[in-house]
Every structure is written in C-alpha cells, then in structure tokens.
Structure 1
Amino acid sequence: MKLAQITAYLESLAPLAYQEDYDNAGLIVGHPDMDVSQALISLDCTEAVVDEAIATRCQVIISHHPIVFRGLKKFNGKTYVERVVEKAIRHNIAIYAIHTNLDNIMTGVNQKICDTLGLKNCRVLAPKHNLLKKLVTFVPQSHAEAVRVALFAAGAGHIGNYSETSFNSDGTGTFKGNEHTNPYVGEPGKRHSESEVRVETIYPAILESKVLMALVLAHPYEEVAYDMYNLTNPNQQVGAGMIGELENGMSEESFLYHIKEKMHCHVIRHTAHTGKHVKKVAVCGGAGGFLLKQAIAAGADVFITADYKYHEFFDADGKLMIADIGHFESEQFTQQLLYEIITKKFSNFAVRLTEVNTNPVKYFI
C-alpha cells in the first residue's frame, strides 16, 4: 500500500493539530506515495533501529519520539540525528513520528498506562481549550432531521460521552432572491417567509471542512446561511495526562510494588509516604511534572510520571506521592499500542516490533 494510507489513518486517530508547539510529529523522512509492505515500530528511532529496518526489509519506521526536533543545517554525520536521517534516506526508509498528538488523545499513551495498571473510570487530567467550535444553521423544517444526521455523521455533536447533541428552536426566515437565483422555495424577486429550525451543534475545529461539506450537501437551499463560533470550552477528549481509580485500593508500599511489576521498572524514585490509602492515580507518560498541580487538584493519591528534578520533588508538599518511573519505562507500551492500532486496521500489512532496547538510561543494580 501507499505510505499515505497508513499515516492518514494514524492522523485520523491522533491529528497532528493536537501535538504540542515544540513537537515535530508526522512524516520526517520519506514521501507519502512510497510503496510500503511492512513497518517497524519503536519508541525511538536510533541508528540501531534503522539497521534493523534494513535487515528486516521494512520500508517505514513508526516511532513515538521524533528523531528530528530542531532544524538540521548540516548532513555530515557528525551527530546521531544526522546519521539516522542520512542512513534512512540512503536506504529509502521512511521515518514517521506520532508523539504528543498520541499523548493527547483519550485512547493514546496515557490510557495504555492506565490499562496496564488496571485503572478504571479514566479521564483526561488537563483537557485542552480552544479546540471546539459551534455551528449554527437555519434549515426548513422538512429538512432539519436530514441536516442533523449529516452533521452528526461528519463528527459534530460530541460532548464527553454523549453524541448527536444539538439545540433546536423554531422560527421564521426571510429571503428574496434576485433574477439569477433558483430558490428551493419562493420566487425570484419576491421576499419569502419560511418556517425554519435553528440548529446548533458543537464540533472539533479540525473537522470544520468536513462538517461544512456535510451541511452544504444535506441542506436544500442554494445559499446556506450559517454562523461559526470559537469556543473556549475544554475538550474533555483531548489533553495531557489521565487520572483513574484502582478497583481495590492498596497501601502506598503495595502500590509501588504494583507499579514496578506492571511497568517493568528497575527503580522508582518517589517522594515520602503520605500515609494515604491509594485509590486515585494520575499518570503522564514521559516528562509530566508540569501536571502536578492538576494531579493534586483532581485528588490523586499518587502521580506517576518521569524526568523529575531534585527540587521538583519538594513540590508534592505531602499532598500526594510522586513516583518517577523513568521516561522509557513510562512510555514503553506505546509500541504495543501502535502495533494494535495498525494491525487492527490493516490486517494484511506486516508490522514488527523492534527488538532494539532504545532506552539510553542504564541501571547498575
């Protein structure tokens, strides 16, 4: 198949618009029209991973972390980033990264951590704002239901766990077409009054073109009247971190053993015990220290993340336990997540999990 078929599907689940400003997710090396028959999945794209792709004849590497974060000015093999990119280009291997956009969706990296730990009733810890818009349109009563159905099918009307949400009010619309019109109702040159329904619904901004196309195709009028509003409401399905609950609470010490077993940790750096019975747990794959205030506000007993600095541990202030399990350890199951996503959609496409341990941190035990 074409590489674009795979990347388009991944981006339909984790849109590039959901990545953080500093990120560089997407197609880094390669062309969308490349023919690909198998992919290699890894957390990081290192030289060893490229060598593995060459040896196993994989035409694309799909990694969580982008190999290129900043602009490259020279390609002389001086850095590992340059060497990876050079080797991939020489061997016609595409490199695709799905990073913070996969972190920020409800079914992404953090949900995988929650599932691994057995957390239930999970929700996004810090939902993103300014991702939603509201559409208002005016439809003759005879076509109101058809327009609603079309808008919902295009992705409008989702609020949390509810779908097909809208508000509808009856009113009267007026219009007068000139000599160049062919109105659905009324006559050119005469003002017409029509019983209409004002239909209001919400939609993700990234789906705007799709929603508007659905509106135009389902609406009977030559000229479709509609309004669009930017909303500051948080999108509860998109954002950083997650919080969930253990089905059966446990002591802090028992929970640390639970983390170590389930997340395959060599070591856990953590703050002092608070004496709490652990029930509610916040998680963030990778460096999630920026979410500490949200974890405390949400009532978490433990906050699991990585890359905490010495002085940042003091910020827990006895309100919860911070458990730093390591960056690689917190995100390692992202590889299985991507494998499941791709193989479920493309059953005849060969997908391999890397056999290279890309964790740059080693432990002397």
Structure 2
Amino acid sequence: MFARGETIVQLMEKLAPKHYAVPDDKIGLQVGTAAKEVKRVLVTLDVTPAVVREAEELGAELIIAHHAVIFRPLANLRTDTPSGALIAQLLRDDIAVYISHTNLDTTEGGINDWMADALELSGRDVLEEVHTDQLYKLVVFVPETHHEKVRDAMFAAGAGWIGNYSHCSFNTSGTGTFLPREGTEPFIGERGKLTKAEEIRIETVVPLSARKKVISAMLKAHPYEEVAYDLYGMDLKGRSFGLGRVGKLAEPESLDDFAERVKKAFDVPFVRVVGGGDRPIRKVAVLGGSGARYIRHAIFAGADVLVTGDIDFHSAQDALAAGIAIVDPGHHAEKIMKPNVASWLTGQLKEKGYATEVFASQVDTEPFRLR
C-alpha cells in the first residue's frame, strides 16, 4: 500500500507545523496535486532542472524541498523563462512540489537542531523566538477505576509539560452525579435512575500544538459515553520555537580549529572566517541560511561565534568591531536537511505500513565553485 500525497503532507506538517513559519513565508504545496498515490518521494534543498531530471529518473511523484519554487508573485507563466520552463516540466511530469522552509528551520528536531547536532552543541536555546505555544488547562472527570489510564493517555499525547517538567497534573477526589436518559448505555448506573459515582478530577496543562491529539487520546481512553471536560485558556507561557540555536562546545577551542569543525560538520570545501584564528570559542550560535541580520541576536545571547551563511562585507566589519567571530559555511550548508528529512519520513511511513520510498537528492545545487 502506498501513501497518498495528502498523507505525506500531513506527516511533514507533523515534523514542521505550518504555523511555525515566519509571516508570509512561501510554504506548502506549490506545484501539482497531493490528491494522488505516491510511490516515491525525493527530498531536496532546491528544485532545479537537474533535480527534476533526478525525480523523473527515480519515478518520484512528489518533491519535498526547503527552498520555494515560487517565491515571488507570478505576473505570468511563460515557458520561455527558466522559472516558467521548470514549472511546466513539473506539470508535464505530474510531479508535485511541497515546500517546508522556515517552519522546518524553527521546529524542534529541524534544520537548526540538525546543524547544532553536527557541531555537537549542548545546553541549547533558541536564537530568535518566532512562536510560543499557547497553553490550556484541561480538566476532565473520570471514574476512580480509570483515572490513571486516562491521565497516562493524555501524558503520552503531549499533555502535562511545564518547562522541563513532564507528567504534571493535579488530581482531586469527588462525587459526580448524572441521570442516564432513554437511549443511553451508561458505563456506571442504570437508565432512569440518578447515579452517584466516585470520580477523580484531573487537571493538566495542554499546549495548543498538541490540543487535538490530547483530547482525542483522552476521549478514547475514557469509559463514559459522554465525557465531561473543560478547556481553559491560560496566561502561562508555553514552549518557545524559533530560528537559530545557541549552545556550548564541550571544551573551548580556537576559532581556526572550530572553522575546521564547521567544514567537516557541513561537508563544505571552505568557510569564510571573521576574527583572529587563535581566539577561544566556547559558546556558539548557529542559524541555517542567510543570517547577517541575526548578528546582534548572537551578541545578545553571549555567543563567541555565529555560524551562518551569506555574510556581506559590511556585516562582517560590524561583527569584527562588535567583537563576535563569524564562520560562514555558505547558504548551501542547509543541505543537511536532505538525509535527515528523508530518514524521518521513511520511519514515519514504515511505522504506518506504507511502502512509499523516500530518497535524499544526490544533486549538488550549490551555485558557487572555487577557482
């Protein structure tokens, strides 16, 4: 059995929810349709003519990319322009394109975490907050015999987190009353008779991102036909999601040694470095893509160095004057997403029993070369 495109999109939005993207980012399905069976998926950083040929040769019906095919509004769709010809080829081959961009940067376990993993950074924080999960208090009344089953089901679905504490709840004993009417099949009591039941009032915290999943798990585990529960909005701040990561190396090392670490971690032939080669590096900020505008965020976070791409001349001068080092491995360092997304999606599809195959693109879309 092969997964349909809609199912694969749902899985990608489980990894990188769309509401984690920065405003006006060009994400989602951009070309073709997801309403079809997909036997093969190709994961790529960019969609180029060479990548489309690779998809054709693989027989892939869906491309998942990080960078948008359609980034600016289209005034026309002319097949005598490079962008128009590319879209026309995708449509002729019936290859859909789905984009996961800043939502994949922002999410936990996404590009910025993969980059931090590659650099072996510990004790991480977000560099710039993009989204904070709204918190709700969920209250549900459960018979004493089932309260642990229902509570554990909610915890497993994502409830009960306050900061770094999990399984948080408050449980109060009390007596519930209800009168089952005609047509009911009560778990406790009899139709037409007022029933008193010893129940537990369970209170726990639920983030917006897990709300539907938690409520579904709670209802499934609950023995009652009609479940009494309340959901309240809270002012308490939930988990923050954002661009970039800040963490620490296990031991300090020189900037030149750290630059070699970056080259190896991101499999790039060279890096551009701002700062003296012997200066000590311990606290590191990393941000995939173009990060010149985040230099001040890295300084505010107390980072010794910022690892990011596309640093321009004047930004490099400003960083040097401000006393922060920079290591620029290029925008293309984000290619780290290809094997990671392919591996994650493969695992999800296999777990659900689908035979759809996922491939990481082997095409190098780096536009620059050294002479």
Q: After TM superposition, is the score higher than 0.5?
A: yes
Shift in alpha-carbon separation, 1:83–1:171, aligned structure 2, 3 A: same
Counterpart AA for 1:109? I
Conservation of the 8 A alpha-carbon contact between 2:162 and 2:168: no
Alignment of 1:235 onto 2:242: no
In structure 1, how many angstroms separate the alpha carbons of the residues matched to 2:191 and 2:292?
64
Q: 1:312 aligns with which of 312, 315, 327?
A: 315
> What are the superposed Cα offsets for residues 204-234 of structure 1, whole Å, 9 maximum, x if unpaired?
3133222222333434553513122145524
Counterpart AA for 1:115? D
> What are the superposed Cα offsets for residues 238-274 of structure 1, whole Å, 9 maximum, x if unpaired?
3221223222321112212322343344443343339
Conservation of the 8 A alpha-carbon contact between 1:59 and 1:93: yes
> What are the superposed Cα offsets for residues 176-197 of structure 1, whole Å, 9 maximum, x if unpaired?
6697796766899999876554
Shift in alpha-carbon separation, 1:180–1:125, aligned structure 2, 3 A: farther
Shift in alpha-carbon separation, 1:272–1:137, aligned structure 2, 3 A: same
In structure 1, how many angstroms separate the alpha carbons of the residues matched to 2:115 and 2:103?
16
In structure 2, how many angstroms separate the alpha carbons of the residues matched to 1:133 and 1:123?
24
| Equivalent in the alignment of 1:245 | 248
Q: Give the 5 Å matches for 1:190-269.
A: 196-220=199-223, 222-231=226-235, 233-236=237-240, 238-269=241-272
Q: What SS does the corresponding residue of 1:332 show, helix, strand or coil?
A: helix
Alignment of 1:133 onto 2:140: no
**Structure 2: stretches of 5+ with no match in the other structure:** none
| Equivalent in the alignment of 2:359 | 352
Q: Structure 1 stretch 88-97 or stretch 193-202: which is displaced more?
A: 193-202
| Equivalent in the alignment of 2:108 | 106
Q: 1:18 aligns with which of 17, 20, 23?
A: 20
| Equivalent in the alignment of 1:83 | 85
In structure 2, how many angstroms separate the alpha carbons of the residues matched to 1:234 and 1:126?
15
In structure 1, how many angstroms separate the alpha carbons of the residues matched to 2:83 and 2:165?
44
Shift in alpha-carbon separation, 1:144–1:334, aligned structure 2, 3 A: same
Shift in alpha-carbon separation, 1:316–1:170, aligned structure 2, 3 A: farther
| Equivalent in the alignment of 1:3 | 5
Conservation of the 8 A alpha-carbon contact between 1:241 and 1:283: yes
- Tell me the percent identity: 34
| Equivalent in the alignment of 1:326 | 330
Counterpart AA for 2:228? V
Q: What SS does the corresponding residue of 2:35 show, helix, strand or coil?
A: coil
* TM-score with structure 1 setting the length: 0.84
**Structure 1: stretches of 5+ with no match in the other structure:** none
In structure 2, how many angstroms separate the alpha carbons of the residues matched to 1:220 and 1:344?
33
Alignment of 1:277 onto 2:280: yes
Aligned pair count? 361
Counterpart AA for 1:214? A
RMSD: 3.2
Conservation of the 8 A alpha-carbon contact between 2:31 and 2:87: yes
Q: What SS does the corresponding residue of 2:237 show, helix, strand or coil?
A: coil
Conservation of the 8 A alpha-carbon contact between 2:304 and 2:324: yes
Shift in alpha-carbon separation, 1:179–1:345, aligned structure 2, 3 A: closer
In structure 2, how many angstroms separate the alpha carbons of the residues matched to 1:123 and 1:270?
24
* TM-score with structure 2 setting the length: 0.82
Alignment of 1:93 onto 2:98: no
In structure 2, how many angstroms separate the alpha carbons of the residues matched to 1:336 and 1:179?
57
Conservation of the 8 A alpha-carbon contact between 2:127 and 2:297: yes
Q: What SS does the corresponding residue of 1:333 show, helix, strand or coil?
A: helix
